[in-house]
């Protein structure tokens, strides 16, 4: 049993870089949250990252995350205390006090949201999360897939509004209520889920993902400082596989019911991986087809990197003419069991004809 490590000011930028990459095109831009967390740590807040074996079985863990469409998230600066207030409302509704926070999703902005709430509350965060990536909907976490209760949960905005989902029939109803309330709130709010016992979190969280994001970010920083090709370094060090390189020829995005939906078309440029790429998007990248064949699909990770800089490209910054490397990374085994695929597999995203074929981890 280890007591983990204290997050340093200098960890936050690489953490946010790695989290953006694990966001698989979505998850919201972690940059503003990173600045806010850095400010809190500069002012003396201490946030410890605890491994999954650190707390006793009966400790309570709060799951928090921002909720809203990432297209809005880029422009709308949250006040910062949304997740904290939602967490306090859930503690009151459940009549427990949490000993640590865990991220709903490590990909994108929600890598940082629990750190901000933890800094405000004087709590540690758990080294893990409920997705190992980003997903567009509330129920798409290992916690819910493996039986976490859907209520009480709570959502808070920057204006002082707090709504408690006191009895909710199941996780899909929670998604529905939380989504439309977040749209009412201006599509950027903090959501806290019913506290979970540590023995449950130990079995169900995707482990080590805060550290994973941090390491990915450090690899990117290190490659840049040495003027190495970032895409090559990431492929060499993260187990990712290059699936396509090309130029964006068409990009469509619409904001529908709180989600950014659309697709990107790419023309192949390396004469090796294929002529035509197509990526389906619902906040995140869902499926990559190359020359009509589906080659990566949810829940595995599809990541667009700028071919020159290695910068992970979120769906909202994709532009016509951009040169892109599309890499794939296998999702954690907890996310591809039969139970998990019902919630996060291709069928759950409206692709009844796709059968999930998992990527293999290289090396």
List interacting residues with a second copy (CB under 8 A).
89, 93, 154, 159-169, 173, 176-177, 180-181, 183-184
Nearer to a second copy, 100 or 174 (CB): 174
- Closest distance to a second copy from the beta carbon of 62 (Å): 17
Angle at which helix 31-42 crosses helix 113-121, to 10 degrees, equals 20
Cβ 144 to a second copy shortest distance, Å:
16
**DSSP per-residue string spanning 54-109:** SS-TT-EEEEEEEES-HHHHTT----S-HHHHHHHHHHHHHT---SEEEES-SSGG
C-beta closer to a second copy: residue 59 or 185: 185
Measured from the CB atom, the residue of 159 and 342 that comes closer to a second copy is: 159
3-state class of 201 per DSSP? Answer: helix
Give the 3-state DSSP-derived string for 236-286, with helices as H, strands as E and coil as C: HHHCCEEEEEEEEEEEEEEEECCEEEEEEEEEECCCCCCCEEEEEEECEEE
Q: How far is the CB of 138 from a second copy (least distance, A)?
A: 13
In the complex, least distance from residue 177 CB atom to a second copy, rounded to whole angstroms: 6
> What is the closest distance, in whole angstroms, from the C-beta atom of residue 89 to a second copy in the complex?
6
Q: Specify the residue for token string 């409302």.
A: 89
Q: Which is nearer to a second copy, 97 or 176 (by Cβ)?
A: 176
- Shortest gap between Cβ of 225 and a second copy (angstroms)? 47
User: Residue 181 Cβ, how far from a second copy at the closest point, in Å?
Assistant: 6
In terms of CB distance, is 160 or 352 closer to a second copy? 160
Nearer to a second copy, 90 or 301 (CB): 90
Q: For residues 200 and 63, is the Cβ–Cβ distance under 8 A?
A: no
Min CB(162)–a second copy separation in Å: 4
Residue tagged 């074996």 (tokens):
53
Question: Could you tell me which residues come within 8 angstroms of residue 206 by beta carbon, excluding any fewer than 6 positions away?
Answer: 106, 128, 129, 130, 131, 132, 142, 332, 334, 335
**Is 154 or 325 the residue whose CB approaches a second copy more closely?**
154
What three-state secondary structure class fits 306? strand
Nearest residue (CB) to a second copy, 31 versus 173: 173
Q: Return the SS3 of 300.
A: coil
Burial of 9-48, coded b for 16+ CB within 10 Å and e otherwise, reads eebbbbbbbbbbbbbbbbbbbbebbbebbbebbeeebebb
């Amino acid at each position: 049993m280890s007591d983990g490590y204290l997050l340093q000011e200098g960890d936050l930028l690489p953490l946010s870089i790695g989290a953006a990459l694990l966001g698989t095109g979505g998850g919201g831009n972690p940059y503003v949250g990173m600045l806010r967390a850095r400010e809190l740590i500069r002012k003396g807040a201490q946030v410890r990252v605890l491994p999954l074996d650190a707390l006793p079985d009966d400790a309570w863990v709060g799951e928090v995350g921002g909720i809203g469409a990432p297209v809005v998230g880029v422009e709308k600066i949250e006040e910062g205390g949304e997740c904290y207030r939602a967490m306090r409302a859930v503690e009151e509704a459940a009549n427990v006090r949490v000993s640590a926070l865990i991220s709903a999703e490590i990909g994108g902005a929600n890598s940082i949201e629990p750190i901000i709430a933890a800094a405000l509350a004087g709590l540690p965060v758990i080294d893990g999360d409920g997705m190992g990536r980003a997903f567009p909907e509330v129920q798409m976490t290992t916690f819910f897939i493996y039986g976490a209760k859907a209520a009480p949960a709570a959502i808070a905005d920057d204006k002082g509004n707090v709504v408690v989902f006191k009895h909710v029939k199941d996780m899909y109803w929670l998604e529905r209520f939380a989504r439309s309330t977040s749209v009412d709130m201006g599509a950027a709010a903090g959501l806290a889920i019913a506290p979970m016992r540590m023995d449950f979190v130990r079995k169900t969280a995707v482990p080590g993902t805060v550290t994973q994001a941090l390491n990915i970010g450090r690899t990117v920083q290190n490659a840049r400082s040495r003027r190495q090709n970032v895409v090559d370094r990431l492929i060499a060090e993260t187990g990712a596989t290059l699936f396509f390189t090309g130029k964006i020829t068409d990009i469509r995005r619409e904001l529908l019911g709180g989600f950014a939906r659309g697709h990107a078309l790419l023309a192949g440029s390396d004469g090796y991986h294929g002529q035509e790429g197509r990526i389906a998007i619902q906040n995140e990248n869902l499926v990559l087809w190359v020359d009509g064949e589906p080659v990566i699909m949810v829940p595995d990770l599809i990541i667009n990197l700028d071919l020159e800089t290695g910068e992970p490209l979120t769906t909202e910054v994709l532009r016509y003419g951009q040169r892109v490397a599309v890499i794939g990374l296998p999702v954690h085994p907890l996310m591809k069991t039969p139970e998990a695929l019902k919630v996060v597999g291709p069928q759950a995203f409206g692709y009844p004809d796709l059968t999930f074929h998992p990527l293999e981890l290289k090396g």
